[in-house]
């Protein structure tokens, strides 16, 4: 089978760094019986009670402190780890209409 290949079009997203509960309205507390609140997540070193959760119809994303919450043009939010954010995202400047010279 030969797959037809595509390149995803570039799309502007907003991204906000998440450090604690209350930093972003899409992030809710992360909890569950498999993640005792005071145990540490070995990948990031923070206790589980310091983590967040983004609920989505496909399941959702765990949010570690320091992750970016990326919101796409459809309003869909996802968590992006710091190293992935550095390698996959570039900052852009968007000029607002009232900032343009006439
Ligand atoms: Zn973590």
Partnered with residue 53 across adjacent β-strands are 28, 62
Q: What is the pLDDT of residue 101?
A: 58
Number of residues that make up the chain: 102
Q: Among residues 1, 7, 62, which one has the least CA distance to residue 35?
A: 62
Q: What is the pLDDT of residue 72?
A: 95
Range list of H helices, the chain: 82-88
CA of 26 to the centre of ligand 1 (A): 17
CA of 97 to the centre of ligand 1 (A): 40
Partnered with residue 52 across adjacent β-strands are 29, 63
Q: What is the pLDDT of residue 9?
A: 92
pLDDT digits (tens, 9 = 90+) for 63-86: 999 999 999 999 999 999 999 999
Q: Among residues 21, 16, 13, 9, which one has the least CA distance to residue 67?
A: 16
CA of 72 to the centre of ligand 1 (A): 23
Q: Spell out, as residue ranges, where the chain has pLDDT lower than 50.
A: none
pTM of the shown model: 0.84
Task: Name the token pair of 42.
Answer: 């070995």
């Amino acid at each position: 089978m030969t797959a037809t290949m595509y390149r995803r079009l570039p799309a502007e997203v907003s991204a906000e760094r998440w450090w604690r509960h209350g930093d972003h309205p899409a992030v809710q507390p992360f909890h569950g019986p498999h993640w005792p609140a005071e145990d540490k997540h070995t990948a990031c070193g923070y206790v589980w009670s310091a983590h967040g959760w983004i609920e989505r119809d496909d399941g959702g994303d765990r949010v570690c402190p320091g992750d970016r919450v990326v919101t796409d043009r459809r309003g869909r939010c996802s968590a992006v780890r710091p190293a992935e954010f550095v390698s996959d995202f570039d900052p852009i400047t968007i000029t607002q209409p009232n900032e343009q010279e006439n």
